[in-house]
Amino acid sequence: MAARATRGQQDPPPRARPRSTTAALDQDINPLQRLIQQRLREQGLSYGDVARRGGLPRSTVYTLATTRNLARPPRPATIDALAKGLDVPVSAVRAAAAESTGLHYYDEAPSGQEHLSDPERELLIASIDELTPEERRHVLALVESLRRRASPESAESPGPAEPADG
């Protein structure tokens, strides 16, 4: 595989593909590829942009974004730099890289609650590690209030429910 210098050249963003082609290809890529390609589309970045922001060779970003079967996860320094270049939490890149090599960090979703390819969920889970204890308490309070609102009949809600007429 030959590498070529592309200083100053912009890679065409992956979003140029037709939507149906992109959806079909998303099923045939690993989680790290999916994360990289999603962030490229969202931010309108090229491989070179991500490489510069993270301090990586462009060829490394390209290889990670296009290699379907990773033999092993990238080195920790590469994961850190890729996270910086993509502007995502390191834990999100680490989890995607591990899963791409057959390792999994999180349990499967409960039956009936499939969360396949839910980038918002993955980013939320990964971001928790980067919050301070106080910030996590705030997030927990928000989540608990949303859960109570979603199921008011829950027996786990703190305190008695107020009467409707009063």
Domain assignments of the chain as residue spans, ordered by start? 14-105
In this prediction, residue 163 has a pLDDT band, given cuts at 50, 70 and 90, of: very low
Q: What secondary structure letter does DSSP report for 14?
A: G
Q: State percent of the chain over pLDDT 90.
A: 30
pLDDT of residue 152: 55
pLDDT of residue 125: 72
Tell me the per-residue pLDDT of 28-86, one tens digit each, with 9 for 90 and over: 899 999 999 999 999 999 999 999 999 999 999 999 999 888 888 899 999 999 999 99
Helix, strand and coil percent figures for the chain, each rounded to 5? 55, 0, 45
CATH number of 14-105: 1.10.260.40
Integer Cα distance of 17 and 72 in angstroms? 29
For the cut 70, the answer to whether the pLDDT of residue 105 exceeds it is: no
Tell me the per-residue pLDDT of 144-157, one tens digit each, with 9 for 90 and over: 788 788 765 544 44
